[in-house]
Amino acid sequence: MKKALITGINGQDGAYLANLLLKKNYKIYGLIRRGSTNRLYRLEYLNIKDRINFIYGELNEFQNLQNEILRIKPDLIFNLAAQSFVKYSFDNPTYTYEINCVSVLNILECLRRNKLFKIKFYTAGTSEMFGNISGKKKLKIDEKTPMQPCSPYGNSKVAAHNLTSIYRESYGLFACSGILFNHESPLRGEEFVTKKIVKNLVEQKYSKKTILYLGNLDSKRDWGHAEDYVEAMYLMLKSKKPFNYVISTGKTYSVREFFTKVAVKLGFEPIFKKKGKLEVCIDKKTNRIIMKTSKKYFRENELSYLKGNSIMAKKKIGWKPKFNIDTLIDDMISYELKNQNVQK
Ligand code: NAP
Ligand code: F7E
C-alpha cells in the first residue's frame, strides 16, 4: 500500500486531499499540532477522520519531523500547513515567515540529508507570490511571470517556492511548488471572503439579521473549487517530471460580483450605494441594509487583480477544473443551508 504524509491535514485542502488519496487507496498520515479545541470538523464532515493516522507536531520542529519521515517512509509528502491568511501576515510577519518558509526548508533538508530521493514532495505555493505584476495590463499569469509579492505572506511563499526549485535543481529531489490561485469550498476557513459572504447571507436570509461587513469590494480573484485543486496537487506528484505548475480557472471576478451572485441566488435584490469605505448594499425588496464596508477589513497593501493561465497544467498533467464560479457558489450555499436546516 502506498503511503502519503500530509501536513495541514485538518485545513481545507488537507481534508479534501486526504479524501481523494483514500479513494486511491493510499494509507494517510496527517501532521497536526496539538490544540485544546476540536479542529477536525472537516475530516469528520467528509467522514474520514477514523481512517487517518495522526502525528502530533509543530511544523518547525525539525527533529520530530525528521523522525516521523524516517519512520513512515512515505511515497508522497504534501506540505499544506501554513499561516495562510494574508491579512494576518501584515501583523505577524515573522511568525508567517517561519511557518511558511523555514518549515519547507526543514523538509527539503531532511530529504537531502537522509538521501530520500524516492520521496516525491509537494509544497503549497500561491498566486499571492506575483503581487500586482499583472494588475495594470490585466494579463493572465503563467509559470514565467515574474514574482513581486505585496504581502509578508506572499513573500514567505516566494522564499519557500525558490528553495523548492533550488533543491530540485541542485540535488535532484522530486520537489514541486504548486502555484495555486484562490480555491474555495464549503470547508473554507470562515475568515476568507467567499465563505464569509455565503455564510452571512444565508444567515441573513433564514435566521440572524446581522449586517455583513466587508473590505475592498473591487479586488478581483480567479476563484476555483478546492476539490479540483487537490486533484492538481496529486497529478503534479504522479507526473514523470517535477515542475511548478500554475493552477487556475482563467476567469476573474470582483468581490462585489461574487457577493452579488450569492445575494441574487438567495433571492435578494442588491443595490449598492455610496463609494469606497462608506459603501453599503441595500436589499431593494425589504429596503434593509445587508452589507456595509468597514475600514477594519481593508488591507495595508492590496493585491487587486488575479487571473491565471493553466495551459501548461492542462497539456502536461491533464488537469482541468470541473467547477465554475456558479457551481462553486451553489455548493457553498447548499452546505450553509444544510447547516441552517433549511429545506430548499
Ligand atoms: P487552511 O485551511 O488555513 O489550513 C492550513 C493548515 O495549516 C491547517 O491545518 C493548520 O492547522 C495548519 N497549520 C498552521 N500552522 C501550523 C503549524 N505551526 N504547525 C502545524 N500545522 C499548522 O489553508 P488551505 O486553504 O487548506 O491551504 C492549504 C495550503 O495552500 C496553505 O499552505 C496555503 O497557504 C496554500 N494556498 C491556499 C490557497 C487557497 O486559496 N486555499 C491558494 C494558494 C495556496 P490548525 O488547524 O492547527 O491551524
Ligand atoms: O481575500 C478582499 C481582500 O482573504 C480575497 C488565501 O487562501 O488566496 C487566499 O488569499 C479578497 C482580497 O483571500 C474582505 O482584500 C474584501 O482582495 O478571501 P481572502 P486572499 O487574500 O486572496 C491566496 C491565493 C492564498 O494563497 C491565501 O492563503 O477579498 N476582501 N473584504 C476581504 N477579504 C477577507 N478575508 N475579508 C473581508 O471582509
- Which pLDDT score is estimated for 35? 82
Q: Are 6 and 14 in contact (CB under 8 A)?
A: yes
128-149: average pLDDT: 91
Q: Are 193 and 213 in contact (CB under 8 A)?
A: no
- Which pLDDT score is estimated for 137? 78
- Which pLDDT score is estimated for 344? 54
pLDDT above 60: residue 65 = yes
Instruction: List the grid coordinates of 82.
Output: 501554513
pLDDT above 80: residue 136 = no
Is 3-185+224-250+304-323's fold the same as 193-218+254-302+334-339's? no
185-209: average pLDDT: 95
Strand order in the sheet with 280-283: 212-214, 288-293, 280-283, 270-273
pLDDT above 80: residue 162 = yes
* Pocket lined around ligand 1, Cβ cut-off 6 Å: 8, 10-14, 33, 35, 39, 58-59, 80-84, 99, 124, 126, 180, 182-183, 189
**Buried b / exposed e along 180-195 (16+ C-beta atoms within 10 A):** bbbbbbbbbeeebbbb
One-letter identity of residue 56: Y
146-164: average pLDDT: 97
Shortest-distance atom of ligand 2 to CA 255: 29
d(CA 234, CA 231): 5
Q: Give the three-state DSSP class for 173.
A: coil
Q: Are 263 and 270 in contact (CB under 8 A)?
A: yes
193-218+254-302+334-339 has which fold? UDP-galactose 4-epimerase; domain 1 (3.90.25)
pLDDT above 80: residue 288 = yes
* Pocket lined around ligand 2, Cβ cut-off 6 Å: 84, 86, 126-128, 181-182, 191-193, 196, 214-216, 219, 221, 255, 297, 299, 302
Q: What tens digit of pLDDT does each residue of 319-330 get?
A: 999 999 999 999
CATH architecture of 3-185+224-250+304-323: 3-Layer(aba) Sandwich (3.40)
Residue 60: closest CA among 97, 108, 103? 103
Cα 83 to middle of ligand 1, angstroms? 6
Q: Give the three-state DSSP class for 10.
A: coil
Q: Are 75 and 119 in contact (CB under 8 A)?
A: yes
Domain boundaries, the chain: 3-185+224-250+304-323, 193-218+254-302+334-339
The residue behind cell 509528502 is: 77
- Which pLDDT score is estimated for 343? 58
- Residues labelled catalytic: 126, 128, 153
pLDDT above 80: residue 341 = no
Q: Read off the pLDDT band of 64 (50, 70, 90).
A: very high
Which of 86-90, 166-170, 220-224, 298-302 bottoms out in mean pLDDT, i.e. has the lowest? Answer: 298-302
Who contacts 10 (Cβ-Cβ below 8 Å, separation ≥6)?
A: 30, 32, 39, 40, 42, 43
pLDDT above 90: residue 42 = yes
Angle subtended at Cα 127 by Cα 122 and Cα 132, rounded to the nearest 5 degrees: 155
Q: What tens digit of pLDDT does each residue of 66-124 get?
A: 999 999 999 999 999 999 999 999 999 999 999 999 999 999 999 999 999 999 999 99
pLDDT above 90: residue 59 = no
pLDDT above 60: residue 47 = yes
Q: Are 119 and 174 in contact (CB under 8 A)?
A: yes
Q: Are 158 and 101 in contact (CB under 8 A)?
A: no
Q: Are 245 and 232 in contact (CB under 8 A)?
A: yes
254-273: average pLDDT: 98
Instruction: Decide which of 59 and 99 is more confident.
Output: 99
- Which pLDDT score is estimated for 34? 85
One-letter identity of residue 28: I
d(CA 319, CA 315): 8
- Which pLDDT score is estimated for 248? 98
Q: What tens digit of pLDDT does each residue of 200-256 get?
A: 999 999 987 799 999 999 999 999 999 999 999 999 999 999 999 999 999 999 999
Residue from 92, 130, 221, 310 to probe ligand 2 pocket by mutation (most atoms less than 8 Å from CB):
221
Mean pLDDT of the chain: 95
Residue 154: closest CA among 5, 299, 321, 310? 299
d(CA 4, CA 131): 32
Q: Read off the pLDDT band of 22 (50, 70, 90).
A: very high
Half-sphere exposure of 119 (CA within 13 A, CB side): 26
